[in-house]
Amino acid sequence: MIKYCRVNVGTIWRDIDKARDIDRDGIKYPADIQRWLLTLNLEQKLSFTEDSRIDTQILYGEMVEVLDEQEGWSHVVCLEQPSKQHPKGYPGFIPSSQLGVMDVQDMTEKVRVKAPKTTLFDLEFKTKQVLSFNTTLPVTKRGESFVEVNTPEGPGMIDIRDVKFSDEYGTFKKGSMQGVIEQARQFIDLPYLWGGVSSYGYDCSGFCFQMYKSQNFQIPRDADEQYDAMVDIPIEAAEFEPGDLLFFSKPEENGFLSHVGIYMGDGMMIHAPHTPKSIEIVKLTDSYYHKILAKAARLLLI
């Protein structure tokens, strides 16, 4: 069964027993992801990865296929996030209350949020959700100042200045690698979040995934798969072009690509490092990251 995320950011958990009482603001409906993340201490955030709790997230209106339901949880595959873990998309578990149905036509105009965050109002201009960058919804009516959209909670309104429009068939124009970098810059100092794909917090590959998606470039969700989907290029800095992805591996990781960042030009990289750091720009030359740089790859633009 196809369903759609009806919270501003839905977290995809490794299993139904991975969510804790301290995560209640992130798993309830309606969710309060900002309060959830602000109340977690460092140890609790580190547990997301150290205890294999979460893998990814989905945005409001994002489509999933429900494989099974048990004890108030849905086992889903995230159809808009390619992954080798499942042929249809990234798998995991999400509270069933955070999913809803939506009448979506394949061939219809859509909007994609281009601001870091924007407010979704109901038709009486009461706040429904605070949406993340890259949230995509079908258009029902264009106004002068607001666009009416269809959502899993019924019709809503978004400030027209905060979105970009697809064509009438739902296809967004291809952007540029410079556009990838410009969009990435607006998230400098946003705290890192393991599994994060939203402007409430990104992990390294989620950040690259969403910045590429903002320009209508589709790559897989995870770092090692991103590399596999692109063209390998020499790791000498002179060969890099803005928008290339740089992949890193620590000596003890035996070549596993555990980190990825976006090359900006002039020896600089923007990336989401790790908990408890924030998105930052770093100079590669003679840096720690230069020492563990393992691969570089470029997306073929057709």
pLDDT score recorded for residue 89 = 96
Minimal CA–CA distance to 161: which of 208, 123, 115?
115
* Model pLDDT for residues 60-89, shown as the tens digit of each residue: 999 999 999 999 999 999 999 999 999 999
Q: Is 274 designated active site?
A: no
Q: Quickly state the pLDDT bin for 237 (edges 50, 70, 90).
A: confident
Portions of the chain given CATH number 3.90.1720.10 = 177-298
Q: Which of 5, 271, 274, 290 is catalytic?
A: 271
Average pLDDT of the chain, as a whole number? 96
* Cβ count within 10 A of residue 126: 8
158/118 Cα distance (integer angstroms): 7
Helices (H), the chain: 24-27, 33-39, 42-50, 177-185, 204-214, 223-228, 288-292
* Model pLDDT for residues 184-199, shown as the tens digit of each residue: 999 999 999 999 999 9
* Residue 190 DSSP label: P
CATH number of 110-165, picked from 2.30.30.40, 3.90.550.10, 3.40.1280.10, 3.40.50.10490:
2.30.30.40
Q: Which of 5, 75, 78, 204 is catalytic?
A: 204
Sole residue written with tokens 């903002």: 214
pLDDT score recorded for residue 234 = 93
Q: Which of 78, 259, 274, 290 is catalytic?
A: 259
Q: Is 204 designated active site?
A: yes
Q: Is 5 designated active site?
A: no
Minimal CA–CA distance to 81: which of 220, 216, 215, 225?
220
The yes-or-no verdict on residue 302 having pLDDT over 70 is no
pLDDT score recorded for residue 301 = 80
272/36 Cα distance (integer angstroms): 20
List for the chain the helix, strand, coil content (%; round to 5). 20, 35, 40
Sole residue written with tokens 């407010």: 119
pTM of the complete model = 0.96
Portions of the chain given CATH number 2.30.30.40 = 110-165
Q: Quickly state the pLDDT bin for 22 (edges 50, 70, 90).
A: very high
Are the CB atoms for 281 and 268 separated by under 8 Å?
A: yes
Listing DSSP states for 222-271 in one string gives SHHHHHHTSEEE--SGGG--TT-EEEE--GGGTT---EEEEEEETTEEEE
* Model pLDDT for residues 93-129, shown as the tens digit of each residue: 999 999 999 988 777 999 999 999 999 999 999 999 9
Are the CB atoms for 93 and 16 separated by under 8 Å?
A: yes
pLDDT score recorded for residue 104 = 82
Beta bridge partners of 54: 13
* Model pLDDT for residues 165-188, shown as the tens digit of each residue: 999 999 999 999 999 999 999 999
Statement: 177-298 belongs to CATH 3.90.1720.10: yes
Instruction: Give residue 174's identity as a one-letter amino acid code.
Output: K
Q: Report residue 259 as tokens.
A: 């980190």
pLDDT score recorded for residue 236 = 84
